[in-house]
Amino acid sequence: MTFAEKILAKYAGEKTVTPGQIVTVQPDHLLMHDNAAPIISKIQPELKEYGIYSKDLPVIVLDHVIPAAAEKNALQHKQIREFVKAYKIKYFFDVGYGICHQIVIEKGLALPGTLLLGSDSHTCSYGAVGAFSSGIDRTEAAALLLTGETWLKVPQSIKITLKGHLESGVSAKDVILSIIGDVSAAGADYCSVEFHGSVSQFSVEERFTMANMGVEMGAKNAVFPVDAVTMQYLSSIGIPKSKYKPMNPDADATYERELTYNLATIGPVVAVPHGVDKVKPIKEVEGIGIQQCLLGTCTNGRLSDLKIAAKILKGKKVHQNVRLLVLPASRKIYLDAVQEGYIKTFLEAGGTVLPPGCGPCLGAHQGVLAPGERCLSTSNRNFKGRMGCNEAEIYLASPATVALSAVVGKITDPRKVVRK
Amino acid sequence: MLFPGKYTYTCSTAEEIRPHLLEDLDPSFAKNVQEGDFIFAGKNFGCGSSREQPVLGLKAVGIVAVVAGSFARIFYRSSINQGLLLIECPEAVKAYTQGDKVWLDVEKGTISVGSSTFSFPKLPKEILAIRDAGGLLPYTREKLRQKKK
């Protein structure tokens, strides 16, 4: 069986399942963020009558519009805090902890072989640690809060085998963008994507970047095998091996499609407006002028991403035509980056460090673009209007590409400065 | 975009959503759409975030069904949960020209566009049960009521 088949069979209490089959499952956690407010407002009478299914099920992280940009956001945050108190929700992370997906991983709420659903499309990120996780909508989250269960269709699976090693200056972000460019934004619709092959070269942070973007090719979930790298990461956040049971796909599993990539042939790439699958080798877009750079987000806001960027920015100045926004994915990462001196480097270079949240990535606040402007971002989406302005353009790239381009003022190949 | 992200946290009811529905794609959509209309669309319709405003909006303006080559996963689930019909049938999309009469038979799994009829995979019974209840929340309410008995 594939990973998806194995885990859904386990949670459905069946020996085997087949793609297309509908199963009823009880997830280990249900993730919500600022949208917990509209979710609970849908079910006020039911909440009063039946209560919630379990106080351990929900994980609520305030991250989308933090600190509140307007009274409406502030009110929603307040409603959520009152809900958390009234129902004694165990896992609540108020404004400032960080971006929900980072918090779920950092706090050890996603573990190998567990199943999580969340009312955010990038919930697929937890495949980085071998969990099955997928995004759902607000109505479904509301029903889950009440009943603790929902239906899932057993997906077909796609096996992506990664071979060889990356050249320096090329990152996990370039790999996943290249794959999305090939597969297309709809190419993995409804499918479970499994990464195989030489994955031990990718840290959990890099796996996070790749699993996070699984949804950008339409995938239901994207998952890495649980190996020594995963176990070492989990042990570093205080989770011993005895606390989880890895679940890896069988060697004889049946896949809908199998793709193989030679990592040595992948170079830096950029997704151009207005689609994540409009991926071009960097030489085709080099020299395009930019006015804003966004470094961070749930896709690339971890310490190793900030380290790569800080190395490039050390002793340099951001180009006078460019605003560099830095968005660490969590308070912990922010603090670590302060201790490592990366934050000092960003500030000295002329960057602006934002509170750990989602802000500019979805165009909510803190970095909305103006008509005619171009932003080069390490985030995961470049849809028209995504950063709050329809007449602006968003280009997606790796932290190294964004950092060097911020200095040059134009999209620039990071291999020009990055040496191992 | 079906629904601009900048309104995510300012619009959540059908009335608030309606004027902005598909506004980036076709600014006249909200004005021209009529109850009983179908939407014909290409591949991966509804791709992107997990917001359900577009589904609520499409239902509120009276769209009977969206017929597309394929749908993005979360949008697909979202539509089932709101009781909006989604028909995956690329052949019908190809055959359609604006103004064609459209006839849909959910039980048989067929859709007629002009003079041609196409079949599409029938929806599983678990999913039809949610639709028949009027969406996931009414379905859940009934389930909770049964449990309490």
Give yes or no: residues A128 and A94 share one domain: yes
**Average pLDDT score over chain B:** 82
**Could you list the residue range(s) of the whole structural domain that residue A212 is in?**
3-262
Give yes or no: residues A199 and A283 share one domain: no
To the nearest whole Å, the CA of B48 is away from the closest chain A CA by 7
Give yes or no: residues A79 and A163 share one domain: yes
Query: What is the domain-level CATH number for residue A277?
Result: 3.30.499.10
Q: Is A147 within 8 Å of B144 when comparing Cβ atoms?
A: yes
Q: How confident is the model over A241-256, as pLDDT tens digits?
A: 999 999 999 999 999 9
> Which chain A residue has its CA at the smallest distance from B83's CA?
A139
Q: Which residues of B touch A42 (CB under 8 A)?
A: 137
Q: Is B50 within 8 Å of A46 when comparing Cβ atoms?
A: no
Give yes or no: residues A215 and A364 share one domain: no
Q: Is B72 within 8 Å of A220 when comparing Cβ atoms?
A: no
Average the pLDDT over A77-90 and give the result.
Answer: 98
**Residue A93, token pair as written in the block:** 């992370």
Cα–Cα nearest to A276, from A367, A181, A197, A191: A181
To the nearest whole Å, the CA of B66 is away from the closest chain A CA by 17
* SS3 per residue for A148-163: CCEEEECCCEEEEEEE
**Dihedral sign (CA A63, A66, A72, A75):** positive
What is the dihedral angle through the alpha carbons of A225, A229, A231, A233, rounded to the nearest 10 degrees?
Answer: -120
**Residue A18, token pair as written in the block:** 């087949």
Give yes or no: residues A257 and A280 share one domain: no
Q: How confident is the model over A330-374, as pLDDT tens digits?
A: 999 999 999 999 999 999 999 999 999 999 999 999 999 999 999
Enumerate residues 6+ apart whose C-beta is below 8 A from A415.
A167, A168, A169, A170, A267, A268
**Residue A103, token pair as written in the block:** 């918090």
Q: Give the global pTM.
A: 0.88
To the nearest whole Å, the CA of B136 is away from the closest chain A CA by 7
Strand partners, A315: none
Q: How much of chain B is in helix, strand and coil states, percent to nearest 5?
A: 40, 15, 45
Total domain count, chain A: 2
Q: What is the band of A61 on the pLDDT scale with cuts at 50, 70, 90?
A: very high
Give yes or no: residues A219 and A335 share one domain: no
Alpha carbon distance B144, B69 (integer Å): 36
Cα–Cα nearest to A194, from A174, A224, A219, A154: A224
Q: How confident is the model over B16-32, as pLDDT tens digits?
A: 777 777 776 777 777 78
Q: Is A119 within 8 Å of B50 when comparing Cβ atoms?
A: yes
> Which chain A residue has its CA at the smallest distance from B142's CA?
A46
CB-CB contact of A265 with A237 (8 Å) = no
To the nearest whole Å, the CA of B67 is away from the closest chain A CA by 16
What is the interface pTM, i.e. ipTM, of the complex?
0.79
- What are the structural domains, with CATH classification, of chain B? 5-148 (3.20.19.10)
CB-CB contact of A137 with A119 (8 Å) = yes
Alpha carbon distance A331, A395 (integer Å): 26
Q: Name the helix (H) or strand (E) containing B58.
A: helix B53-60
Looking at chain A, the whole-number percentage of residues with pLDDT higher than 70 is 100
**Residue A118, token pair as written in the block:** 């969340």
Q: Is A185 within 8 Å of B44 when comparing Cβ atoms?
A: yes
Q: Which residues of B touch A361 (CB under 8 A)?
A: none
Q: Name which of B9, B72, B74 is nearest A76 (Cβ-Cβ).
A: B9
Q: Which residues of B touch A64 (CB under 8 A)?
A: 8-9
Q: Is B8 within 8 Å of A385 when comparing Cβ atoms?
A: no
Give yes or no: residues A106 and A169 share one domain: yes
Lowest-confidence range among A14-28, A133-147, B15-29, B68-82? B15-29
Q: What is the band of B48 on the pLDDT scale with cuts at 50, 70, 90?
A: low
Q: Is B52 within 8 Å of A385 when comparing Cβ atoms?
A: no
> Which chain A residue has its CA at the smallest distance from B1's CA?
A384
Helices of type H across A21-131: 36-41, 44-50, 71-86, 100-106
